[in-house]
Amino acid sequence: MMMTLMGLCVVKNTQAQDKCGAQMIKEAIIAQNPSNALVLKQQEEQIKQRAEAYQRDIEGVKMKTTATVTVPVVFHIILTSAQQTALGGISGIEERVYNQIQVLNDDYAKLNADTAFVPTPFKPVAGGSQIRFGLAHRKPDGTSTPGYEIRTTTSASYAFPASGAKYTNQGGLDAWDPSLYLNVWVINLGTSLLGFTVPRSLLFSFPSQELGVVITHGAFGKRTASTTPYFISGIDKGRTLTHEVGHYFELIHIWGDDNGLCPNNGGQDDGIADTPPQANSSSGVPIFPTYDACSPTYPGIMFMNYMDYSNDTALYMFTNGQVARMHSNILPSNSQDYTLGIHPELLDWPTGVTNIISDNNFLLYPNPSSGKVTLSLAAGSGLQQIEVVNLLGKIVYSTQAQSTQTNYTIDLSLLSKGMYVVRCVFKEGIQTQKMMLE
């Protein structure tokens, strides 16, 4: 077993390019100390057993629950001014922050529109999770945050493993307490590597301040009518973060990172029972059914799995087995990421906020919301009208303000999910805030 893994550090991956650094991280850890290969193997076995135990408990109804957990996310964005401009400046970056959270929520809930493309033989195993994501609105010190921070750098790009980006005193931005926040760093990794992740199982080799996900700026967010066109070719639907967060919750690549081998021939599996064996990563936009040496008969390989390397348009499912593995790492109270899902207050704006970003002197919560939203503002604000506008600029909700009222409940539950702009018309002018319905 150890020989197989050690072989990986000398046999160069045969992929033309690595889209994700999951295997590079493991190779680097082994290069540091060959005995780490055994530790990695043991970690993988533990994760697998934890997931299997979880699945047994679910089936035995010991843990039956439909409750969701919401993970507070913070984006640490470290880019040059030119790179920020390529993303559309501050407003373009903000747009990507919002639509990236929406992609995560859609994909993890199996509410992504392209779930309809899951081929019939794979439909019974396609899984939606109970994990949701929200922008953090409270920093570790309790003050307010829009859920992202931007640092302008002069470093044009970061080479893997980009540790410098994770420390403020090295020109990057420090992680926020990784037991409370999912830290995502957005930097320029060049054009082939899209992202990589340090999950808790690698803590034996990494400091906890480096826990989290790194993605390259050309793979950040989703192309929409209003985002600027800069995206890495084929990577414009926000699926890089879906994939990397899968690694954060301890999923591994669907082909098992074994350079073309099959599980029945000395190769690694992904440890998930309901994904078909697969020899190597997919690329581009494969057509169903696609066969390979490990899955030579119908229905072939699951190239549309988020943990493969197909283009974003060709990725649209997790399996139930993958969902169980992710759940086993965050839902049970003894799970490694349990504390990430039990602090919904970090998603709310602090009360008495005076220093929130300049165009937001009204509060909107919860945001994201499932329909009923409270808009709150100071007495004597001079508010005259509240309007909600969809992304096409159409007013979909409107109400007159009352001069003494400081809290408004807006019911948007009949609107389709997605991003909206809440516009407050004051005597002195108009102020807006983005809001997500999910």
**Binding-site ranges for Zn ion (CB under 5 A):** 20, 22
- As measured in angstroms, the least distance from the Cβ of 228 to Zn ion is 26
Nearer to Zn ion, 181 or 196 (CB): 196
Indicate the residue among 54 and 309 with the shorter CB distance to Zn ion.
309
User: What is the three-class DSSP state of 2?
Assistant: helix
> Apex CA 152: angle with CA 149 and CA 154, to 5°?
150
Which is closer to Zn ion, CB of 241 or CB of 363? 241
Instruction: Between 88 and 260, name the residue whose CB sits nearer to Zn ion.
Output: 260
**Least distance from C-beta 23 to Zn ion, angstroms?**
8
Nearest to 117 by CA among 286, 4, 234, 256: 286
Which single residue brings its beta carbon nearest to Zn ion? 20
Pairing of strands 69-79, 131-135: parallel
Shortest reach from residue 202's CB to Zn ion, in Å: 13
CB of 241 to Zn ion, least distance (A): 11
Q: Which is nearer to Zn ion, 20 or 40 (CB)?
A: 20
Q: Using an 8 Å Cβ cutoff, are 375 and 363 in contact?
A: yes
Q: Which is nearer to Zn ion, 94 or 270 (CB)?
A: 270
**Residues ≥6 apart with Cβ < 8 Å to 85:** none
Query: Nearer to Zn ion by C-beta: 129 or 281?
Result: 281
| Residue 138: CB minimum distance to Zn ion, A | 30
Whose Cβ is closer to Zn ion: residue 162's or residue 356's?
162
CA separation for the pair 272, 263 (Å, rounded): 12
CB of 307 to Zn ion, least distance (A): 7
Question: In terms of CB distance, is 88 or 246 closer to Zn ion?
Answer: 246
Closest approach, Cβ 213 to Zn ion, in A, equals: 10
> Helix (H, G, I), strand (E, B), or coil: what is residue 383?
strand
Rounded distance between C-alpha atoms, residue 129 and residue 105, angstroms:
9
Residues 145, 148: Cα–Cα separation, whole Å: 7
**Distance between CA 43 and CA 40 in Å, rounded?**
5
Of 183, 311, 323, whose CA–CA distance to 240 is shortest? 311
- The region, left, alpha or beta by phi > 0 then psi within -120 to 50, assigned to residue 371 is left
**What is the C-alpha separation between 206 and 185, in angstroms, rounded?**
16
Rounded to the nearest 5°, which phi and psi values hold at 415? -80, 155
Torsion, Cα of 242, 243, 248, 253 (10° steps):
160
Cis, bond preceding 276 (omega within 30 deg of 0): no
In the complex with Zn ion, which residue's Cβ is closer, 20 or 175?
20
CB of 195 to Zn ion, least distance (A): 7
Cα→Cα distances 433→84, 164, 180, Å: 21, 33, 25
CB of 264 to Zn ion, least distance (A): 24
In Å, what is the CA distance from 167 to each residue of 48, 84, 418? 32, 20, 34
Task: Quote the least distance from Cβ 235 to Zn ion, whole Å.
Answer: 13
